[in-house]
């Protein structure tokens, strides 16, 4: 659960955020402190794929928000994770 | 902080530089953060270095430096190894020579394949894109040639240092110019195959050079200087690793 792209999409699902706000939010809900380079590497790739988009800069800080494609990608990823969690939980319970 | 930003390619800095700096100003600038930024910056450069075969071209340029260091290191090695024990180092040395010839031929073949499309691209607007890199590379080559002439006239330390610095700079500048030009051309499947050949030759040379080093130092531990060995090993391994990253993502 430390894929930076997925963490960013999850964070942006509660509304637009700039880089620093993303780092704080991800730290809070996932307990993962991303490095600034890792964060912006993931932002670059997500923007290239059209999953997030920049909003007008607030002074020098630029917020990002999910696109429709980003929302669909997040839903798809979470659905896949739910299946893994379900299977893993069932198998773990059977083995103990 | 702006120095850290230099790790990223210019185009990336133009798009994300200001907001990234704003983020860095809000973070405690620990060594871990610096390392993270540098790693991400060079990763971004790697991604922006064009299609995988062009990344292999960069890898070859790095490898050439390691190869030259190896060539210098291995001069007159037969003197320190007894005649009866030269079988393994001779085979390893010959493997390096053959692989170097094959790799060079593959690089030249790649250039030759791309050449016919180049004039057409220059006429249709490519001139603007390649002009600056070619000018920089040509200038560096002229300075290197002038320094070489100065070395020939009177062997002095400054001229040798300037020659080495500008010769290396020329190598990278011409590679950059070639990559800028080639990035504009239509991709060719043959280039992916040639990239595989070049990568294989780099791997062969690295392994063979290691075998040669091991067998020669068994007879003469002090024959290979630590500095020369460090340069050869660093650039050969870096070149091979970079080529491998290029191939990993290549549509073969």
Q: Give the C-alpha separation, B12 to B30, whole Å.
A: 23
Pair B170, B144: CB distance under 8 Å: yes
Average pLDDT value for residue range A72-85: 94
Q: Distance (Å) from the C-alpha of residue A53 to the closest C-alpha of chain B?
A: 13
Asked if B236 and B151 sit in the same domain, the reply is: yes
- Of residues B162 and A20, more confidence is placed in A20
Domain residues for B29? 2-45
**pLDDT of residue B252 exceeding 60:** no
Q: Distance (Å) from the C-alpha of residue A80 to the closest C-alpha of chain B?
A: 25
Q: Helices (DSSP H) in B154-188: which residue ranges? A: 157-183
Band (B247; pLDDT cuts 50, 70, 90): low
Q: Distance (Å) from the C-alpha of residue B231 to the closest C-alpha of chain A?
A: 29
Residues of A in contact with B26 (CB under 8 A): 20
Asked if B9 and B115 sit in the same domain, the reply is: no
> Which range has the worst mean pLDDT, B10-14, B114-118, B128-132, B224-228?
B224-228
Pair A31, A16: CB distance under 8 Å: no
pLDDT in tens, A33-57: 999 999 999 999 999 889 999 999 8
Q: How many domains does chain A have?
A: 1
Asked if B25 and B106 sit in the same domain, the reply is: no
Phi/psi-derived region of residue B50, left when phi > 0, alpha when psi is between -120 and 50, beta in every other case: left
Coil vs helix vs strand at B92: helix
Q: Flag whether residue B21 sits within 8 Å of chain A, measured between CB atoms.
A: yes
Taking CB atoms and an 8 Å limit, are A37 and B26 in contact across chains?
A: no
Asked if B154 and B73 sit in the same domain, the reply is: yes
Taking CB atoms and an 8 Å limit, are B22 and A60 in contact across chains?
A: yes
Closest-CA residue in chain A for B24?
A: A36
Q: How many domains does chain B have?
A: 2
Average pLDDT value for residue range B59-82: 86
Which pLDDT score is estimated for A72? 95
Taking CB atoms and an 8 Å limit, are A20 and B24 in contact across chains?
A: no
Contacts of A63 (CB under 8 A, 6+ apart): A16, A17, A18, A21, A54, A55
Asked if B149 and B70 sit in the same domain, the reply is: yes
Domain residues for A27? 4-95
Asked if B111 and B204 sit in the same domain, the reply is: yes
0.80 exceeded by the pTM? no
Band (B248; pLDDT cuts 50, 70, 90): low
Minimum-distance CB partner of B27 among A18, A36, A41: A36
Which pLDDT score is estimated for B85? 80
Q: What CATH code is carried by the domain that includes residue A18?
A: 1.10.10.10
**pLDDT of residue B128 exceeding 60:** yes
Asked if B88 and B213 sit in the same domain, the reply is: yes
Q: Give the C-alpha separation, A26 to A34, whole Å.
A: 8
Asked if B174 and B241 sit in the same domain, the reply is: yes
pLDDT over 90, % of chain B: 26
């Amino acid at each position: 659960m430390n894929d930076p792209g997925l963490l960013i999409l999850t964070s942006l699902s509660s509304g637009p955020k700039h880089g620093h706000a993303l780092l704080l939010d991800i730290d809070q809900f996932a307990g993962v402190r991303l490095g600034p380079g890792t964060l912006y590497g993931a932002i670059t790739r997500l923007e290239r794929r059209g999953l997030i988009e920049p909003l007008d800069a607030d002074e020098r800080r630029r917020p990002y928000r999910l696109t429709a494609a980003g929302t669909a990608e997040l839903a798809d990823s979470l659905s896949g994770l739910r299946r893994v969690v379900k299977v893993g939980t069932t198998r773990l319970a059977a083995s103990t | 902080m702006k120095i850290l930003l230099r790790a990223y390619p210019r185009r990336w800095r133009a798009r994300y530089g200001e907001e990234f700096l704003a983020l860095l100003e809000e973070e405690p600038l620990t060594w871990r953060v610096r390392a993270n930024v540098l790693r991400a910056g060079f990763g971004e450069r790697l991604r922006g270095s064009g299609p995988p075969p062009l990344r292999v071209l960069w890898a070859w340029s790095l490898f050439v430096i390691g190869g030259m260091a190896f060539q210098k290191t291995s001069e007159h090695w037969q003197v320190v190894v007894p005649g009866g024990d030269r079988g393994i180092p001779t085979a390893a040395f010959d493997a390096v020579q053959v692989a170097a010839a094959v790799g060079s031929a593959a690089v030249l073949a790649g250039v030759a394949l791309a050449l016919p499309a180049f004039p057409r691209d220059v006429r249709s607007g490519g001139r603007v894109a390649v002009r600056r890199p070619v000018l920089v590379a040509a200038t560096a080559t002229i300075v290197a040639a002038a320094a070489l002439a100065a070395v020939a006239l009177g062997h002095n330390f400054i001229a040798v240092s300037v020659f080495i610095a500008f010769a290396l700079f020329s190598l990278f500048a011409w590679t950059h110019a070639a990559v800028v030009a080639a990035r504009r051309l239509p991709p060719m499947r043959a280039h992916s195959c040639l990239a595989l050949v070049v990568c294989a030759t780099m791997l062969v040379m690295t392994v063979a050079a290691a075998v040669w080093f091991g067998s020669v130092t068994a007879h003469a531990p002090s024959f290979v200087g630590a500095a020369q060995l460090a340069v050869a090993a660093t650039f050969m391994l870096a070149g091979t690793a970079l080529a491998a990253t290029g191939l990993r993502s290549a549509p073969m």
